[in-house]
Amino acid sequence: MKKLRIILGSALAIFVITSVMESCGDPQRNMSGNYTYETECMGVEMDGSQTVKAWGMGRNREDAVEQAKKNGVRDVLFKGINNGKQDCNTKPVIFEVNAQEKYEDYFNAFFADQGAYKEFITGEDGSDMHFSVVQGRKKYEDQVTYGVIIRVQRAKLKDRMIADKIIK
């Protein structure tokens, strides 16, 4: 009788441990796709540009990378970059509250797939066409997340916003 209790107790303990381990594994794997990645500063240049690592989510690699570029420029424009190296300009280019909503038509065209935002992005090596895709990607259901390292021409972006009368 004593042996039967030990065997049943051991079997129950193994069952509980394996059940807990399985239930912990699945949410962890699924949560990585839902995690919101913040744009972070990688450095600043003497020409007023900021090198940032930005993240984007899309149906495939191309969509996610394009979204990441847009997110990098949008964060420099409206949020400022607070994560990463401390030498980055943490202030946004546009200080006006709800400017993106107020000038919605302008920014919808600005951030369109072939929009003007591309004029203010260069790759790490200074070329207009190159950017670095960050190693590793996260997948959640039918969405993938990619990161890119881009240089945002902050000074030129500010000049454009002044010329287009978005800021004074």
Domain residue extents for the chain: 1-34, 36-163
Cβ(50)–Cβ(75) below 8 Å: no
Q: Which amino acid is at 14?
A: I
pLDDT tens for the chain, 168 residues long, are 777 777 767 766 676 666 655 555 444 444 445 566 889 989 888 888 889 999 988 888 889 889 999 999 999 999 988 888 877 777 889 988 888 899 999 999 999 988 999 999 986 444 544 456 664 556 667 788 888 999 999 999 999 999 999 988
Residue 98 corresponds to which tokens in the numbers above? Answer: 């709800």
Whether pTM > 0.75 for this model: the answer is no
Phi-psi region of 80 (alpha: psi -120 to 50; beta: other; left: phi over 0): left
Rounded distance between C-alpha atoms, residue 39 and residue 74, angstroms = 10
